[in-house]
Amino acid sequence: MIFRETIVRGATARNHSVQLFDSLDSRITALAAFIASGLAADDIVLVVAGDNAWTGAAKRLTASHVDVERAVREGHLIFHDAAETLSKFTRRGWPDTAAFDAVIGTLIRQLVARGRLRVYGEMVDLLAAERDFGAAVELENLWNTLGQSAAFSLFCGYSASHFGPETNAAALKLICRCHSTTRVDVADDLASWLLQSAESDDITPAHS
C-alpha cells in the first residue's frame, strides 16, 4: 500500500490529517494501520467511526495477531459509534460549540491526561454524506480549536463519493484547508483525482 501525503497550508492545530476513500476496504485498511501504529507506540487510540469500519479493522488487526480485545479491555483502544456521538452535540444538524466541548472536549481532556492520544473520526463524514458541508467544516474547526488546548493527533476519514459532483469541489477545498495534511492511497483513483484537484487552487482557509 502506497500513500501520497501533501502538506496543506491551513489554519489548523496540532496534527490534523484527512483521507478520502473510494471503498470500505480502503477505509478499513487505513484505520487498521492507524490503530496498529498507535498501539505499537503505546499511545491511546480513540476511534469514532461507523460499525462497519470498526468491525472490519478489528478483524483485520486480529488476523495480524494484534490483541484487540486486550487493548480495549485495558483502555488503550476505545470505540465510540460516530452517529450516536454526533447526535449528542448537534442541534438541528449543526454542531453546537458548548455541547461539543461537553461531549468531545471532556472525553479528549480525560484521555490526554492519561497519555499520548490519537483519534480517528468519521462524524464529519456523516455530515458530508448528507451534503451538510458547512456543518462538516464547522466540526473540523471545533476540533482545531480543541487542539489548541489539548495535545492529540486527529485523522479524519471521508468517502470520496461525497465530493464527486462538480458542485461539491469548493466544499472539499474548504475541508482540506481545515487540515494540516492530506493522505491518499494511490490505489483510490477517485480520491486521488479529487485531492489533486482540490490542491490545485488556493482558497481562503476556513477559520473557527
pLDDT digits (tens, 9 = 90+) for 71-99: 999 999 999 999 999 999 999 999 999 99
Non-local (6+) Cβ contacts of 63 within 8 A are none
Q: How confident is the model at residue 200 (pLDDT cuts 50, 70, 90)?
A: low
Q: Which amino acid is at 193?
A: W
pTM: 0.89
CA atoms of 57 and 131, how far apart (whole Å): 26
Q: DSSP alpha helices (H): ranges in the chain? A: 24-40, 51-63, 68-73, 82-87, 97-100, 106-112, 123-129, 133-147, 169-177, 189-198
- Residue 43's contacts (CB-CB under 8 Å, 6 or more residues apart) are 76, 115, 116, 117, 118
The answer to whether 57 touches 31, Cβ cutoff 8 Å, is yes
- Which residue type, as a one-letter code, is found at position 181? T
Task: Please name which of 95, 164, 193 lies closest in space to residue 136, comparing C-alpha atoms.
Answer: 95
Which domains are delineated in the chain?
9-185 (3.40.50.300)
Q: Are 117 and 160 in contact (CB under 8 A)?
A: no
Backbone torsions φ then ψ of 202, nearest 5 degrees: -80, 140
- pLDDT per position as a tens digit, 106-149: 999 999 999 999 999 999 999 999 999 999 999 999 999 999 99
Predicted pLDDT of residue 202: 42
- Check whether 52 has a pLDDT greater than 80: yes
**What pLDDT shows up at residue 201?**
53
How do residues 140-198 score in pLDDT, each as one tens digit?
Answer: 999 999 999 999 999 999 999 999 877 788 899 999 999 999 999 999 999 999 988 88
Is the separation of the CB atoms in 18 and 195 below 8 Å? no
Strand 117-121 relative to strand 44-49, pairing: parallel
